[in-house]
Amino acid sequence: MSQPRVVESTLEFPYSRSLGPVVGGFLAGLKEHRILGIRSADGKVLVPPLEYDPNTGDTLDELVEVGPAGTVGSWTWVDAPTPKHPLDHPFAFALITPDGADTAMVHAVDAGSIDKMSTGMRVQPRWRDEAHNMIDDLACWEPA
């Protein structure tokens, strides 16, 4: 029997999402090359900011600037990125704690090679040329 046919198909869902004061504040900050977290009821700074306190459910509204540099916690190396990945060459997904923050955020680290990666390494943000109100306005992090 000959090779089975392979058919290609694409489903697309266009979303337009109104961001509100907290997530909108975070992305407005990225546009100005600033990283904003939010202060929770117990005084911790959560990044990216949450609209509600994860422990008490209280509404949160005190945005706090953190970073710009940060520290890598755990990480994993992506050797063969797909078209959906944030970078078109090998990179790391990492948990990064910006200076002054109490939580880590998942993001890409463009370190060039896996040998440059280590837990505890210092990183700094690289900004997207033109902001478009998405998390990749902070394009990725790079070794500081």
Binding site for another protein (CB under 8 A): 4-21, 23-25, 27-29, 32, 36, 61-65, 132-134
DSSP string, 56-124: T--B---EEEE-SSEEEEEEEEESS--TTSS-SS-EEEEEEEETT-SS-EEEEE--SSGGG--TT-EEE
- Closest to another protein by CB, 44 vs 143, is 44
- Closest to another protein by CB, 106 vs 134, is 134
In angstroms, give the least distance from the CB of 12 to another protein.
5
In angstroms, give the least distance from the CB of 121 to another protein.
27
